[in-house]
Amino acid sequence: MLKRLFPILLLALTIPALAKDAPSDPRLKNAFRRPEQNGWTFVHLQGSPSEIGFQHGFLLAPEIADTLKVIQVEQAHDQKKDWQFFRDAARNMMWPHIEAEYREELQGIADGANAQGLKIDLWDVVAMNAALEWEYYVKQYNKEHGIQSAASLVAPEHCSAFVATGSYTKDGKIVIAHNNWTSYLDGARWTIIFDILPARGNRMLMDGLPGLIHSADDFVVNSGGIVITETTIGHFSGYDPNGIPEFVRARKAAQYSNSIDDFARIMKDGNNGGYANNWLLADIHTNEIASLELGLKNVTLEKKTDGYIVGSNFPVNENLIREETDFDPKDMSISANARHLRWEQLMAENKGKIDVPAAQRFLADHYDTYDKKEEADERTLDGHIDLSPRGSMPWEPPYGDAGAVQNKATDAKLAAHMSFTAAAGHACGQDFKAAQHLHEHPEFAWEETTIRDMPAHPWTTFSIAK
């Protein structure tokens, strides 16, 4: 089916290898990429918005081409729309609500990629950046246009995370960690470490996908002392096409927040409901942690100077659950609730002992609280949906090749030096083998041209460039 949908488009993404000698373009003066380290590629971007964008597009052009192909294949399969639909929505619906700074950066990415021979344009780049909020938009679009879609458009349950401080941590300071749950198609590419030094705002160290101006799975340390992560609100519905795209607000909040209140204000301003998350936040200067549960209608900010906050895609606010989701908080067999219970167990068992090594162990955890046994599956913090005896999650499309694809953890000491630890692949050390998976699951043959192995790598510490 996909070969029929995209025979010309996919061929257009073929680009030459990077030139051995970069042209003497002054926009590249302060930028560089390092050789791959334990599965990660580190890039340093610096300057004005257009310069940062150009550097991004130029240095990561092959990776952008590859990621764009993956996003096109996934959107066609999952949303039942062709790529032009998303390009048009990016131009007509999103672009009017994107401020000048990020317009310049997005255009810069296209320009930098073009300079390397990649034939993409601005609307491809905007549509790529919105990849995680398209399912929210498409559900609303189909409803408004009376379209009965075969696609399952329930907001997926991705990611596990926690933040702790005070009496729960070993030194009384902040510890925060997150793993990214997504398809292995995305996960094998979600391996860029961005060190961004903009002309205005805070410096940012974050993980991300090539071509995106935001982290997207959202793990960011900024020079204002704010550490940011999140997990999606499962079973969520709602989208306002007249709002500001989530990817713009998330990037702006990472860049300009010097307090938890700053972050909440920026994320709430123009909230469109896209990629609705429970944001877990930390301020290393005040030793304060927070949860910003950001629905479209219901928004709740909770702060603590002692304790913990956990996330695994369960909604918290009762009004939000009732008005904006079809989530069942009493069904302990579903992943979000089973993982929530496991987080509570780990927090209680490790009170006063939580540090970065403990956080790394938590993210590799395989205890299923519903079956009450060690079993890597969709109910464990280190998610392995592909290994679940139940097959795919019942509330999602058949994402039987999804799970925890990479991991990050940091504490106040590391964050003060703009550093965090990261592990590409499953934190437990188990590799994902694409050929074996396709052999065992022929229903995923549609992924054949894009799926690849996802090896597990050791934890590695990354810091901003000096």
Taking only the tens place, the pLDDT of each residue in 361-399 is 999 999 999 999 999 999 999 999 888 887 654 444 444
Q: What pLDDT score was predicted for residue 232?
A: 96
What residue spans of 176-317 are helical by DSSP H? 184-187, 246-256, 260-268
Higher-confidence residue of 78 and 399: namely 78
Query: Which whole number is the average pLDDT over 98-107?
Result: 98
* Rounded distance between C-alpha atoms, residue 454 and residue 89, angstroms: 32
What residue spans of 325-365 are helical by DSSP H? 335-349, 356-363
Report the DSSP beta bridge partners of residue 175: 164, 411
**The Cα angle at residue 339 between residues 271 and 352, in degrees rounded to 5:** 95
* Rounded distance between C-alpha atoms, residue 413 and residue 402, angstroms: 33
What residue spans of 80-133 are helical by DSSP H? 83-89, 100-115, 122-129
When pLDDT is cut at 50, 70 and 90, the band that residue 177 belongs to is: very high
Query: Which whole number is the average pLDDT over 263-276?
Result: 97
* Rounded distance between C-alpha atoms, residue 180 and residue 320, angstroms: 24
| Residue 179 near residue 427, CB atoms below 8 Å | yes
Query: Which whole number is the average pLDDT over 228-252?
Result: 97
Query: Which whole number is the average pLDDT over 8-14?
Result: 38
Q: What pLDDT score was predicted for residue 440?
A: 85
Q: What pLDDT score was predicted for residue 441?
A: 83
Q: What is the pTM of this model?
A: 0.93
Sign of CA dihedral 266, 272, 273, 274: negative
Higher-confidence residue of 168 and 153: namely 168
Domains in the chain, please, with CATH?
Answer: 162-442+452-457 (3.60.60.20)
Sign of CA dihedral 95, 247, 42, 51: positive
Q: What pLDDT score was predicted for residue 362?
A: 98
In the numeric block, which tokens belong to residue 311? 């996330």
What H or E segment, with its residue span, contains residue 319? helix 318-324
pLDDT of 61 above 60: yes
For the beta carbon of residue 40, count every other beta carbon within 10 angstroms.
19
